Amino acid sequence: MTHVLILGGTAEARDLAAHLVAQGVPVTSSLAGRVSRPRLPEGPVRVGGFGGVGGLAAWLTEHDVTAVVDATHPFAGTMGNHAAQACSRLGLPLLRLARPGWQDHPDAGDWTWVTDHVAARDVADALGGTPFVTTGRQTLHHHTGAWAGREVVVRLVEPPADPLPAAWTVLRSRGPYDVAGERELMRTHGIGVLLTKDSGGRYTEAKLAAARDLGVPVVVVSRPPRPEGVTAVEDATAAAAWVASLG
Ligand SMILES: NC(=O)c1ccc[n+]([C@@H]2O[C@H](COP(=O)([O-])OP(=O)(O)OC[C@H]3O[C@@H](n4cnc5c(N)ncnc54)[C@H](OP(=O)(O)O)[C@@H]3O)[C@@H](O)[C@H]2O)c1
């Protein structure tokens, strides 16, 4: 009997859950539990960490999981590594489902690509101007010390985990965003440089066009490496076909 575990927290994961539920494939979606009011996928959902590779392997065994789809966010590197190790230990098929990055965006060649958040800050410092930081609340500790006394605009889905410098402006919202709104936001706050990460996808890409329109330079943190040797697809239809191919 098939039982698919989707490691989720993304729109692609919700799309896949909807596909599998519609096809009558037994599926459980797993969420980390970081977001207070998450968009829930169709079908059964479990919430919270597994307790490392051992905990995940135990959960997979206890729940007779026959295949795992790692549909976590491109920057959720730990969960992907744990999934690869647990599946390899148990001999379970594992698929990576991830939306394409922005490397093929028409403006990608104009942006500064860096491999970490500290390098992103260095580039922003060299460019000058008020930074607009959209890299997520888990990345802010990289900047709170160095940018404690300067004007910074950050946009977050959830409230910050720790207090942020008084000079910073915190905007709370969740996409999708449109280009006109993003232009307005950047104008209103006098943004001089946009710091983002290569999340990919449509929900948050409007800021890139807005930055181009306003001549605001863009600094992009590249995706961290994922485990090698894992079959990867870019959308839920292809992932559902992979599940079907397992028989
Ligand atoms: N990082 C981002 O920018 C971002 C953006 C949007 C959404 N998300 C979503 O938010 C979640 C957490 O992201 P993260 O960057 O903190 O992940 P991470 O660094 O890869 O994972 C840290 C720990 O959180 C737990 N975890 C992560 N994803 C889980 C899932 N789907 N189900 C159950 N436990 C999970 C695991 O705990 P145990 O070791 O205890 O199992 C994992 O070791 C992910 O599911 C991701 O898809 C992340």
- Full-prediction pTM beyond 0.75? yes
The residues of the chain that CATH labels 3.40.50.720 are 4-99+225-245, 108-221
Phi, psi (rounded to 5 degrees) for 23? -90, 0
Which positions ≥6 away from 233 have C-beta within 8 Å? Answer: 95, 96, 97, 239, 242
User: Is the sign of the CA dihedral 181, 183, 185, 188 positive or negative?
Assistant: negative
Q: For the domain with range 4-99+225-245, which CATH number is right: 3.40.50.720, 3.40.50.300, 3.40.190.10, 3.90.105.10?
A: 3.40.50.720
The per-residue pLDDT of the chain, averaged, comes to: 97
Give the Å distance between the CA of 80 and the centre of ligand 1.
Answer: 9
Instruction: Render pLDDT for 127-182 as a digit per residue (tens, 0 to 9).
Output: 999 999 999 999 999 999 999 999 999 999 999 989 999 999 999 999 899 999 99
User: How large is the C-alpha radius of gyration of the chain?
Assistant: 19
Residues whose beta carbon lies within 6 Å of some atom of ligand 1: 7-10, 30-32, 34, 49-52, 55-56, 72-73, 75-79, 82, 136
Question: May I ask the CATH architecture of the domain 108-221?
Answer: 3-Layer(aba) Sandwich (3.40)
Residue of the CA atom closest to atom 39 of ligand 1: 52
